[in-house]
Amino acid sequence: MPSHAKGPGRRAMVACSLLMLPWLVAAVTAAVPGCKIRITAKGLELVKQEGLRFVEQELEHISIPDLHGKEGQFHYNISGVRVTELQLALSNLHFQPQQHLAFNIKNASISLRFRRQLLYWFFYDVGFINASAEGVNIRTVLKLSMDKAGRLKISNITCSASVAKMQTAFTGTLRKVYEFLSTFVTPGLRFLLNRQICPALNYPGLVQLNALLDTVPVRNQVDEYVSIDYSLLSDPIVSLDTLDLDFKGMFYHHGSNETQVNQAVAPVIKETERMVYVAVSEYFFNSAMDAYFRAGALSMEIVGEEVPKDLEVLLRATFFASILMLSPAVVDAPLKLVLQASSPPACTIRPSGTFVSVNAILNISLAPTDHPEIQLSSMTMEAKLSAKVSVRGKALQAQLDLRRFRIYSKQSALESLALFPLQTPLKTLLQLGIMPILNERTKKGVPIPLPEGMDFTKEVVTSHAGFLTVGADLHFSKGLREVIEKYQPDPRPRASRLQSPGTATAVP
C-alpha cells in the first residue's frame, strides 16, 4: 500500500481512539457500590403526605407586609395580615428525571384575615377584613445531587406560584367606601401574596430539608472497632418511577483511611413494588470482616475456670505425655486457649443463603502464674457459618449459626489424627461459648442510611448471586418538623426569612 494511503488511515484510528478515551477511562474508574438504595413511587407517596403537612405549616406562617396609601382625601392602612385556613387538596410529588423531585399544588385556597384603618375627611373606621385567595397554584422543583463529602443534598430549588383570584369580605356600615377600597386593596393583596409564597418555601427547601438530609450517616461509627463509609459514589439517578442511590458501603477500622478495592458483583435492584429497597453486596460484608480483622477484634482467650471442665479433662488427657515432661511446678497450671482468625473471614451470598468461611488458629497452653506460658499445641480450625440477615428498625442484623467445623495440624497427618477426639468437644465450645458472643455483636446491627425519624416495616430479605436485597415499606416515627427543629433550630423570626420589604405602599 502506498505511504500516502497509510497516513489517513492511521490518523482516523488515532482520532477514534481519542474519542473513546473518556469513555474507557470512565469505565475503568467507575466505582462499584457496596450498598444501593431505591425509593419507589410508593415510597414517595408516603413522603408526600408528610411533606404536605410541612408545606402547610410554612404557608400558615407566611408573612405579608402591611399595605397603606391614599386616594385623594381617602387614607387607608392594611396590617396584621395572617393566614386563617389552608386547603391544599390537590397535590402531587413525583420524580422528574434526571435528578429532580417536583412538588405541585393545584387549585388551592388560602383564607386571610387582616386589620383595616380608614380615614376619609373626618370619618375614621377601624375593623377587620376577611379575604380568600382562590386558584392558588404552586410548583416547586428540587434538584438532588452529591456534595463534596458524598452526602445527598438539595443543591437548587426553583419555585413558581400564581393566585388566580382574590376576594375580600368587609363588615361594617360604610358599604360604598368598602367597595371603593376593595378596587385597589384586593389586587394589591393578591400581588403581595403571590410574591411571598415562593420565598416562604425556598428557605425550608434549601436549608431545613438539607438539615434533615444531614441526619443520614455518611461516615458512621458502628462500635469501638470499626466505622462504615456511606458516602455517595455519584449523583442520584432519577427515573419516572424510582430514585436510585449508590453508596460506597465500606467498613474501615478506626484510624485507617485505606480504601478496600471492590471486586464484588454490583448489587442490582429491579423491583418497584415496595416503598424502598436496599441491596448490599458481598463487598459490604467482606469489608466489615476485614476491618474487624485489622482492628484485632477477631480473637478470643479462654483461661482457667472459663474452660469447660469436661474439655479441660480431655485436653489434659490428650497432652498427658507432653505435660509429664514438664516441671512438677507447672503441671497443674491453668489451661489457656487462644482462638484467633488467621485471615479475614470471607462472605459468599447465593440464592440459597449467606455463608461465612472462617480460618483460625487455636493455641492451647499452660499458663503458670509466675512462669512463662508453655504451648502444648497449635492447630488450624476451619469453620463455615450460615448468616440469617434481617432488618430491625433501620439496622441490618445477622444471626450466625455454625454449620461445618474441623481441626487439623499443619505439622503432620499423625498429629491431626491425634487431634480427632477433640473435634466434637471443641465444636461444642464454639456453639455454646463463642457463637453467642458473636451473635450478641451482630444483633446490634449496622445502621442503614436513612434520615432520622424514618424506619422500615414489613421487611423481606431475598438472596441473589453475590448480593442480597431488602424490600420494605416506610414509616415515620417522627415528623419532619420535629427532626428539623432538633437539628436546625431557626434563630431568626419567621418574618425575617422572607426576602421582601416589611411595608408596601400603594401610590395613587
Residues of each domain in the chain carrying CATH 3.15.20.10: 224-476
Q: Is the pLDDT of residue 102 over 90?
A: yes
Identify whether 98 is preceded by a cis peptide bond (ω within 30 of 0): yes
**What's the pLDDT score for residue 226?**
93
Q: Where are the beta strands (DSSP E) in 351-394?
A: 353-366, 374-392
Percentage of the chain modeled with pLDDT above 70: 88
Average pLDDT over residues 89-114: 91
- The pLDDT tens digits for 14-47 are 444 444 444 443 333 468 999 999 999 999 999 8
**What's the pLDDT score for residue 408?**
86
Q: Three cell numbers at 144? A: 438532588
* Cα–Cα dist 119/129, whole Å: 16
Residue range 224-476, CATH number = 3.15.20.10
Kindly report the pTM of this predicted structure.
Answer: 0.82
**What's the pLDDT score for residue 172?**
63
Residues of each domain in the chain carrying CATH 3.15.10.10: 38-215+477-506
- Strands 503-506 and 66-71 turn out to be parallel
Return the minimum-mean-pLDDT range out of 40-44, 49-53, 294-298, 459-463. Answer: 49-53
**What's the pLDDT score for residue 487?**
76
Which one has a higher pLDDT value, 51 or 111? 111
Q: What letters, b where the CB count within 10 A reaches 16 and e where it falls short, cover 175-204?
A: eebbebbbeebbebbbebbebbbbbbbbbb
Average pLDDT over residues 160-178: 79
38-215+477-506: which CATH topology? Bactericidal permeability-increasing protein; domain 1 (3.15.10)
* Cα–Cα dist 355/388, whole Å: 9
Q: Three cell numbers at 3? A: 505511504
Whole-angstrom CA distances from 14 to 11, 19, 265, 297 are 5, 9, 34, 53
